[in-house]
């Protein structure tokens, strides 16, 4: 048993030691403004499967330096998917979108934008912990209402428990939403130039079959998939609630 434990620890240490030089070399290349070399090293690390929010953030920065805003947006989004609290990735994502004129919230009103921003800022685990803490405080409020003699404390316990109930429900909802986003992987970024979407899963033969166009870097939600291999089509939903079909190779999944 001890031998097995030491073997596992040794393998983990070997993996870390192997990954560190590659990332360090990539960081050094980036600092020397050798962005193509840095990207090659970062993506070689990504291909090993040993990824992190910081790695995706660095790849996003490198793509931006290479004037590829769409892939920069893609990797900032991937960084936030792993760690919604990565403030640097969130700040750079907003900067690139503003710089390129790509506004992800086109179809949302001010209230929706605020809600989406708050929900996405924390991971599903963080929301779950908040829900647990609020639930315990709710129980404390109920106990105060039932067992304390002071009218003032009983009122505080009652209304406090009601507020905590709302927090519990909201936190659980946010946790489930963020978990579904992370598991379903239906969000994607358009990586092809000026994509003409079709009303049906086939190339548009003329303008009448073109539903609308999307520019590079726009975020969409995949709602359906048909076809296989090189003839795979995706039905996507935009922020302003428009739906149409595009080829699978015109987007990359976040």
Domain finish residue from 39, 68, 100: 100
Examine the pLDDT at 108 and tell me if it is beyond 60. no
Is residue 201 domain-shared with residue 154, that is, in the same domain? no
105 within some domain: no
Mean pLDDT computed over 33-39: 96
Is residue 19 domain-shared with residue 84, that is, in the same domain? yes
Is residue 233 domain-shared with residue 177, that is, in the same domain? no
Q: How many angstroms separate the Cα of 194 from the Cα of each of 39, 164, 188, 244, 250?
A: 25, 48, 16, 14, 10
Is residue 128 domain-shared with residue 200, that is, in the same domain? no
Strand 251-253 relative to strand 210-214, pairing: unpaired
51-55, 106-110, 228-232: segment of lowest average pLDDT: 106-110
**Tokens in use for 9?**
């620890």
134 within some domain: yes
Give the per-residue pLDDT at 83.
Answer: 86
26-35, 38-47, 79-88, 193-202: segment of lowest average pLDDT: 79-88
The CATH number for 34's domain is 1.25.40.10
135 within some domain: yes
112 within some domain: no
Is residue 179 domain-shared with residue 133, that is, in the same domain? yes
Per-residue confidence band for 205, with pLDDT thresholds at 50, 70 and 90:
confident
Contacts of residue 225, Cβ cutoff 8 Å, sequence gap at least 6? 232, 233, 234, 235, 248
Number of structural domains, the chain? Answer: 3
Is residue 147 domain-shared with residue 164, that is, in the same domain? yes
Is residue 173 domain-shared with residue 132, that is, in the same domain? yes
**Which ranges constitute the DSSP H helices of the chain?**
2-31, 35-47, 53-65, 69-82, 87-100, 110-121, 124-147, 151-184
Is residue 206 domain-shared with residue 135, that is, in the same domain? no
65 within some domain: yes
110 within some domain: no
Is residue 8 domain-shared with residue 86, that is, in the same domain? yes
Give the per-residue pLDDT at 44.
Answer: 94
114 within some domain: no
| H-helix or E-strand spanning residue 230 | none
72 within some domain: yes
More confident residue, 4 or 217: 217
Is residue 94 domain-shared with residue 27, that is, in the same domain? yes
Is residue 174 domain-shared with residue 193, that is, in the same domain? no
Domain that holds residue 222: 187-253
Give the global pTM: 0.74
More confident residue, 101 or 139: 139
User: How large is the greatest C-alpha to C-alpha distance in the chain, in angstroms?
Assistant: 78
The CATH number for 213's domain is 2.30.30.40
**Tokens in use for 166?**
């709302």
Count Cα atoms within 13 angstroms, Cβ side, for 184: 13
């Amino acid at each position: 048993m001890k031998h097995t434990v030491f073997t596992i620890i040794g393998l983990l240490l070997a993996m870390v030691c192997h990954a560190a030089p590659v990332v360090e070399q990539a960081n050094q290349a980036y600092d020397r403004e050798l962005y193509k070399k840095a990207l090659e090293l970062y993506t070689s690390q990504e291909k090993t499967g040993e990824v992190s929010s910081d790695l995706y953030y660095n790849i996003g920065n490198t793509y931006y330096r290479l004037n590829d805003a769409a892939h920069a947006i893609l990797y900032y989004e991937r960084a936030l998917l792993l760690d919604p609290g990565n403030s640097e990735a969130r700040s750079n994502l907003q900067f690139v979108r503003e710089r390129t004129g790509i506004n992800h919230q086109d179809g949302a009103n001010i209230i929706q934008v605020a809600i989406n921003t708050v929900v996405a800022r924390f991971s599903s685990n963080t929301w779950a912990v908040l829900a647990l803490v609020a639930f315990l405080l709710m129980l404390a409020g109920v106990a105060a209402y039932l067992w304390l003699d002071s009218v003032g404390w009983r009122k505080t316990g009652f209304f406090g428990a009601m507020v905590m109930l709302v927090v519990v429900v909201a936190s659980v909802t946010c946790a489930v939403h963020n978990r579904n986003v992370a598991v379903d992987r239906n969000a994607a970024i358009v990586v092809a130039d000026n994509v003409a979407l079709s009303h049906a899963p086939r190339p548009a033969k003329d303008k009448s079959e073109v539903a609308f166009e999307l520019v590079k870097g726009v975020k969409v939600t995949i709602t359906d998939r048909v076809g296989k291999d090189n003839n795979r089509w995706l039905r996507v939903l935009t922020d302003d609630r428009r739906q149409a079909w595009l080829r699978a190779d015109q987007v990359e999944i976040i």
